[in-house]
Amino acid sequence: MTVPMQGRSAVLAQRGLVATDHPLASAAGLRVLEEGGNAIDAAVCVAAMLGVVTPMMTGIGGDSFIVHYHAATQRVLGLNGSGAAPQTATPEFFRQRGFATMPLRGMLAPSIPGAVDAMATALEQWGSGRFTLGRLLEPAIYYAEAGFPITAKVAAWFARTAEGEVAPILARYPSSARIYLPNGRPPRIGEVFVQSDLARSMRAIAERGARAFYEGPLAEAIAAYAQSHGGLLTAADLAAHRSEVCAPLTTTHRDLVIHTTPPPSQGFVLLEMLNILEQTNVDTLPWGSAEAIHLMTEAKKLAFADRLAYVGDPRFVSNPLDHLLSKEHARDRSRAIDPRRAQEQVPAGALREQVGETTAFVVADAEGNVVSYITSLSAAFGCGEVVDGTGILLNNRGGRGFSLEPGHPNEIAPGKRTKAMPRPRGTCRSSAISSITAWTSRRPWTGRAGSVFPQRIRPASGRRLN
């Protein structure tokens, strides 16, 4: 196997692998594998930890998408852990209040948080049965309560967002500023960051189960705060939420089969990009060359234009995926690529604001099971507003994803899920999972961070079980 030159070696192991963007999260997942857990057990533990140690990226107030490869059956399934718009969220509600576009911050921006139910559903479907949700939340609860030293990368994320638009937004909400701007500023390298309110909320979930987030005192606190701060989320909205296990979308790319989550995830965008690139000469160009990056970027523009124009919640709109993922469509779209010139505008639409932050991670176990897991608040620090007394920062998936344009596939509607950025994926060669990248039959796991496409999703801290 020829491996492109990179800044560090790939992580190799024989009995398991965890690749995340924080060393404490990687260590927590590895510990679960060492104690007899499988890939899903470890992934749930990692997801909870990342919500504590990278709070600008993810948390229990966000949502999740999962692709799971079950080695014994060689079957790939997806899990949609995104939430819907509140039942009172109509286009008229926003238009009557003077909104031309959806608000990006504050209590009108969140969709129903799906992250906690996604953890519980994944455990029920694919977990080993050796671990309860409560046990897997223990490391996250510990570090939320006792605190953890801010690493250079997390400090840089705090600083970067503080230098842009996020710090003033956090300062706007006292409940957020009290946690994320201690002493009136973002935490710095080496300072111990404590989230005691979040620890109490997670302990309630650990003791009473995932439904404690959606029903009972915690759910009532979330709904009461939203309602008293101009939002639409209600206790009934939270109680109605359920995750969905789904068949993945697939496409072929040379000798590979790529699997990803279906709408409302935008996973199909990756598949369309690969189909378009298959029509070009990108495979003959040097890795990382300007010519290769140009082709990848142009393919991405075209696929995202199709996403913006045609795809939404399949419960509300008809998504023409058979056409969008056909090789014929890819050939037609590839003709729009000029190898010498970047397109400033793409035919089907224009890309809107880019303030997104998301975390992705991968877990593989000794049996060959592999999990690709994306968990997110949508934008950096989500809606910007913590539910006071709970430590829970809510997402802004609704504000970033929905449209107020009449007839648009993502026009907001009660109970509708917006198209979502996260798109976990797995790649198979001859029925064996090969990317994240991994091999079965006692051949070594190989962890790779990042993607061939320019992304802000880059899991960077690998741990292995030899």
Asked if residue 396 lies in contact with residue 61, where contact means CB atoms within 8 angstroms, the answer is no
The pLDDT of residue 268 is: 85
| Lowest mean pLDDT segment, chosen from 54-58, 126-130, 319-323 | 319-323
Q: What is the mean pLDDT of residues 257-282?
A: 88
- Which of these is catalytic: 359, 418, 427, 440? 359
Model confidence pLDDT, tens digit, residues 284-327: 999 899 999 999 999 999 998 888 888 878 878 778 888 888 89
pLDDT at 266 over 70: yes
The lowest-confidence range among 266-280, 336-350, 371-385 is 336-350
Q: 452 versus 20: which is more confidently predicted?
A: 20
Average pLDDT in the 340-355 region?
60
Q: What is the mean pLDDT of residues 141-166?
A: 84
345, pLDDT greater than 60: yes
pLDDT at 430: 47
Average pLDDT over residues 403-414: 93
Say what the pLDDT of residue 6 is.
59
Closest CA to 330 of 420, 252, 426: 252
Q: Which residue has the higher pLDDT, 236 or 305?
A: 236
The residue ranking higher by pLDDT, 335 or 314, is: 335
* 446 in active site: no
- On the question of pLDDT at 79 being above 80, the answer is yes
Token representation of residue 450:
């990042």
Mean pLDDT for the stretch of residues 201-227: 98
pLDDT tens profile 155-179? 988 877 544 656 788 999 999 999 9
Average pLDDT over the chain, rounded to an integer: 86
Higher pLDDT, 260 or 87: 87
Which of 60-64, 300-304, 336-340, 342-346 has the highest mean predicted lDDT (pLDDT)? 60-64
pTM of the model: 0.80
Residue 98, pLDDT above cutoff 60: yes
Tell which residue, 265, 367, 368, 374, has the closest CA to residue 43. Answer: 374
- List the domain boundaries for the chain: 11-245+355-464, 249-334
Tell me, what's the pLDDT at 462?
53
Q: Is the pLDDT of residue 1 over 90?
A: no
Residue range 141-165: mean pLDDT, rounded: 84
* pLDDT category of residue 427 using cuts at 50, 70 and 90: low
What does the pLDDT average to over 179-197? 95
pLDDT value for 7: 64
Which of 10-14, 15-19, 360-364, 429-433 has the least mean pLDDT? 429-433
Residue 447: its pLDDT value, please? Answer: 42
Q: Is the pLDDT of residue 364 over 50?
A: yes
Query: Which has more pLDDT, 390 or 265?
Result: 390
Class of domain 249-334: mainly alpha
User: What's the pLDDT score for residue 4?
Assistant: 58
Choice between 263 and 459, residue whose per-residue pLDDT is larger: 263
Range scoring the smallest mean pLDDT among 129-138, 205-214, 262-271: 262-271
**Is the model's pLDDT at 460 over the cut of 80?**
no
Average pLDDT over residues 87-93: 97
